[in-house]
Structure 1
Amino acid sequence: NGYWINRKNWFLGGFLTKGGAYPDPVIRLFKKGKGKLPEVSVHEQVEIDGRVGNLKNDLLHMADPNFSRYLQRANRYTSLTAKKFKAKKVGKGIVQIITYMLIKPIITFIDIYFRHAGFKDGFRGFVWALFSSAHHFWAYSKYLTDKD
């Protein structure tokens, strides 16, 4: 009733092949009436009623033709994450500050760059790991400084 397609992500002038960025499976083809989108703002995944197959060719994902566009999207995503923190009433104490601004970024960088071999993507992989790990720091900073 639907198909997984491995998404190949374009970043800084080339495709990422490591760092957990490939394969990046998504469901993009499904029979009418068999798929349902959940109500989430970012990284939504179609829920399929029934069996799901796999397509062998990649979907070329050219979301960010340049770094400025990537930063704009990252800014939007971190704002959405900050809103989620607010809705969940995430704490603002020292434990949460250390967790979101130090521990989570370090763990994310190590996971992407070393565990998932992001280093094999060279400079592109380093920047991907660095900015992916900065997401927690950036989003929590927005949450802490929100005046609403």
Structure 2
Amino acid sequence: MIDTDERVTPELRQAILKVLDAPQRGAIYSIARRNYFLGRFMRHSGWYPDRVLRLYERARYRYNDNLVHESLDSLGAEVIPLTGDLLHLTCRDFAGFQQKQLAYAAAWALERHQKGKKTSMAGIFSHTLGAFLKTLLLRGGVLDGKQGWLLAMVNAQYTFTKYTELWALSHGYSEKESS
């Protein structure tokens, strides 16, 4: 499965063709995704190698029902990494990217709220600060230059929005639950 904002590199194409010539029964193949953000393909920041499971036997595996970032249920499967990159043109338009982030944050919060999860003001602050520091320092965002700093701030903003929406839902300040 390839999304409309993804492109296969020649090296990845060769690796896929090799697998198709001799597939390993029951195996799932992971692909390194290289994410594009504000004019550059990120090399750090937790955005590379953003490995995704995309080549598998459709009759054997299914995607879960997560509202945000659904993933393949691969419990017990052998996961084999492929060479080559899948180029992910995730942020060519920042306003569109932000709109998508807002929608993901609202869906994330609603999913957690429906499971009885809550947060506090301290939780909002600590998760937001943690997201910034994790992206910038622990995941090497500082090595991605200006885009790394911006991505750290965007990740912090996304985290702030997720947890604030969860807080609003749990305090009855959001109409998302009734829609």
TM-score category of the 2 structures, normalised to the smaller one = 0.7 to 0.9
1:1-148 alignment runs, 5 A limit: 1-48=27-74, 50-91=77-118, 96-100=120-124, 102-143=125-166, 144=168, 145-147=173-175, 148=178
Quick one: which amino acid aligns to residue 83 of structure 1?
A: L
Quick one: which amino acid aligns to residue 99 of structure 1?
A: G
Asked whether the equivalents of residues 10 and 62 of structure 1 are also in contact (C-alpha less than 8 Å), the reply is yes
Misfit runs of 4+, over 4 Å: none
TM-score, normalization by structure 1: 0.88
Once residues 91 and 118 of structure 2 are traced to their aligned partners in structure 1, the CA distance between those partners, rounded to angstroms, is 33
Cα deviation for residue 136 of structure 1 reads: 2.4
Asked whether the equivalents of residues 4 and 52 of structure 1 are also in contact (C-alpha less than 8 Å), the reply is yes
Identity %: 26
- Structure 2: unaligned runs, 5 residues or longer: 1-26
Once residues 59 and 141 of structure 1 are traced to their aligned partners in structure 2, the CA distance between those partners, rounded to angstroms, is 33
Structure with larger Rg: 2
